[in-house]
Amino acid sequence: MSAQMTFFLIFSFVIIVCAVLVLALQRISHRLVAMAFCFFAIAGMYFLLRAEFIGIIQIMVYVGAISILFIFGMMLTDHRAVGFGPDRSRLHKVFSFLGVATLLGGMLYGILTADFAVNEEPFVGTAEAIGLELYGNYLIAFQGVAILLLAALVGAIVIARKEAD
């Protein structure tokens, strides 16, 4: 088994375990930590695919911004009074676990027995290639999107100010 396959299996295991922990844990702060680790492992998958730019964006946007947004939302709300639905019966939990375990086992079997062709060509979506393309051929479109997002931000502030008054 190659090192790349080993890291793939490790990242897959971390993603699955953290996703299950997000659903299974009781405290919302523990769920946030599990979600952040899940996002980190997904970024590791992108690095394995030689998509460094998307991996860095995954870390900056999801691990950084989204996790911080959830933490602020948790701090500003009364999350202790919120329920997550009715408790399921033990039989329902067992069948759910068996179904998910069967699905994951089938996926793991398919991944481990597949014969993937090795591609040694450099990936064209590196950060340098994306930067040259974005700030070269699409500079006007990039600046247009930036102005559009700025206008949306100002509009949201104006609407929020009117509602506050």
What pLDDT was estimated at residue 81? 58
Do 58 and 111 share a domain, yes or no? no
What number of residues does the chain have?
165
Do 42 and 31 share a domain, yes or no? yes
Do 38 and 68 share a domain, yes or no? yes
Domain-embedded: residue 101: yes
Do 15 and 75 share a domain, yes or no? yes
What pLDDT was estimated at residue 80? 64
Do 25 and 103 share a domain, yes or no? no
Do 16 and 69 share a domain, yes or no? yes
Query: Residue 149: left if φ>0, alpha if ψ -120 to 50, beta else—which one?
Result: alpha
- pTM score, two decimals? 0.62
Residues whose CB falls within 8 Å of the CB of residue 53, separated by 6 or more in sequence, listed in order = 125, 126, 127, 130
Domain-embedded: residue 121: no
Do 64 and 16 share a domain, yes or no? yes
Do 95 and 52 share a domain, yes or no? no
Do 112 and 130 share a domain, yes or no? no
Spatial separation of the C-alpha atoms in residues 121 and 4, rounded to whole Å: 16
What pLDDT was estimated at residue 45? 93
How many independent structural domains does the chain possess? 3
Domain encompassing residue 69 = 1-85
Structure tokens given for 112: 């481990």
> Which backbone phi and psi does 27 adopt, to 5 degrees?
-85, 135
What pLDDT was estimated at residue 117? 78
What are the mean pLDDT values of the chain's consecutive 10-residue runs (165 residues total)? 89 92 84 90 91 86 81 72 68 88 90 79 70 84 89 86 67
Spatial separation of the C-alpha atoms in residues 48 and 42, rounded to whole Å: 10
